[in-house]
A and B are shown apart, each in its own frame.
Chain A
């Protein structure tokens, strides 16, 4: 009878089955339909039809989807555990580089210097043999493993130190920034063996499919969508579980959580690593679609932008983050094309506007409006917290 009154915790699987947080089903629905319609319209509809989705739009959307996944990963730690990472671009980029290294190896002897093993930039810098950390990247499974492992491990090590010594709030944000900045500088160095400023580029094919081919693009697009959907489910799974509630507890009252017997640092570490892995995957899917990965992905500015996507969409409302990523990036694409001189005003203005007038982001705010209409039907822990977020 208690169950009737409020959501009782029947375990994460059950709560995932019985209902996703606000708008979750709609969201997944949209992803599903997009995954079906876009390829179809691209392949079947004639270019003239207004509903035909041209190929360049497909890979553009694919790019957005990757950004969305990245935003999702940030929302998971920021919205729910109150960890503001200003260095999440680092994990994204590391995932990207892992994939990039695979694609590089796939080029084989088709590089300009025709060296069977070494990528062009190495030939060029007089490298005689492949550095050890490039071994194995010619195997796709290994690369995929690294895509998740490298960011995961970095996140684990970094988080292990940071959370154990209880670095919180602004301090944490700043050192995450320091992390990504250090990596930025490191990857700029040509001696590192990652192609320096030019990064990795000039990719030919993935798993034998030509990257230029429309089919491949559609494939990657759909793959990204699937990754996003899965990522979303993972996040829901976590946030719906009791662990999710512990995270919120940590966000709202860390010491209370400690005195209730939870090892806060482990919880933070866990979610931080999960988030980093998601970011890595996003990066890995991003690289083949844009055809280049280079150090500027590590730049602190990029990481800050990701946070802004989440804020615009609505912190602590998973699919809000996705929405934010889409809106901001679409805006960027559109404005840079249509108002090349003035787009920065618009983007900057958008950020100021959201913070001033939509403090909970689009989804958060609209959520509270909806709540106003519907009579007191609570219990969706995703919508409420945005209201009572205690800033870190």
Chain B
């Protein structure tokens, strides 16, 4: 696998963790992404905001290999061309994705949800004979702690509250121990308190991982205090600290309408 990565490596700077250049996607006529380009540096936390239909989710799809772009380049860790791979492969490369609507394995226990997301070899046969070793159990317990669900480890994921599901899903991402997390509206339908905790959680995570957060909630974005990218009609409208973008004339137009 390594070798293929090397082969794929290109001229552009190999330092960036995520690199999109001139990506365009259109669904029968409608341009969801329009020549979108931006870069995420290793260890960086990036907030992406933008009105509905700005193309946030489509961007996620492109990065995780769910949608293939019509044109443009998408590179991971500098060298790996993501447009050539499918979801499973990309996930194993180290990109974790949290959906807008929290998706967990409802009919299985929280513990098993995490177990399933364990990083490691995921071939059919290995899975068939897989057994947990103490290290892995410990790891699961640790994450359970991080996402504050230790007591609920034995419960069915389906029985969790909305916010808890959000966390469980983040926890599942952490189990994958990815280099890059794509988090889609993590605090949708959370209480302020939960939102607070989530912000802290993500800040902690960003110490060790690169994180891209898509969010509407400005307060939350502020709480993250990270660099902000504003998407509009499929391309980058503005970039910079929250304050700078909020004072950006075109951003104001887009948000408040002309």
Instruction: Give A residues with C-beta under 8 Å from B.
Output: 2, 5-6, 8-12, 14, 238, 241-243, 245-246, 248-249, 252-253, 255-264, 266-267, 270, 378-379, 381, 384-385, 387-389
Contact = CB atoms under 8 A, between A and B. Distances in A.
Contacts of A252: 105-108
A267 B99 CA distance: 23
B107 A248 contact: yes
Nearest to A11: B131
A262 B123 CA distance: 8
A98 to B, nearest CB: 26
Contacts of B97: 259
Interface of B: 64, 66, 86-88, 91-92, 96-97, 99, 103-109, 111-112, 115-117, 122-124, 127-132, 137, 140-141, 153-156, 158, 172, 176
25 contacts: A2-B111, A2-B153, A8-B132, A9-B115, A14-B131, A241-B129, A242-B115, A242-B128, A242-B130, A245-B108, A245-B112, A249-B105, A252-B105, A253-B105, A255-B87, A256-B105, A258-B86, A259-B87, A259-B91, A260-B91, A267-B127, A270-B124, A378-B156, A384-B107, A385-B107
A387 B157 CA distance: 13
B100 to A, nearest CB: 12
Of the candidates A8, A11, A267, the one having the most CB atoms from chain B within 10 angstroms of its own CB is A8
Contacts of A255: 66, 87, 99, 103
Contacts of A253: 103-106
Of the candidates A241, A242, A270, the one having the most CB atoms from chain B within 10 angstroms of its own CB is A242
Contact of A263 (B88, B96, B112, B131): B88
Contacts of A261: 88, 91-92, 122, 176
Contact of B106 (A238, A270, A388): A388
Contacts, number: 122
A317 to B, nearest CB: 13
Contacts of A270: 124
Contacts of A242: 115-116, 127-128, 130
B19 to A, nearest CB: 21
A65 B215 CA distance: 57
Given A252-B105, A378-B109, A2 B99 contact: no
B146 to A, nearest CB: 15
B128 A241 contact: yes
B91 A258 contact: yes
A5 B158 contact: no
A263 B117 CA distance: 13
A243 B127 contact: yes
Nearest to B121: A261
Q: Which 4 A-B pairs have the closest CB atoms?
A: A11-B131, A261-B91, A6-B154, A258-B87
A270 B109 CA distance: 24
A14 B129 CA distance: 10
Given A245-B116, A252-B106, 14 more contacts: A9-B130, A12-B128, A14-B131, A238-B128, A241-B127, A248-B107, A255-B87, A258-B88, A259-B96, A260-B91, A260-B117, A378-B109, A378-B156, A381-B112
Given A242-B127, A385-B107, A249 B116 contact: yes
B141 A2 contact: yes
A14 B132 CA distance: 11
Nearest to B137: A2
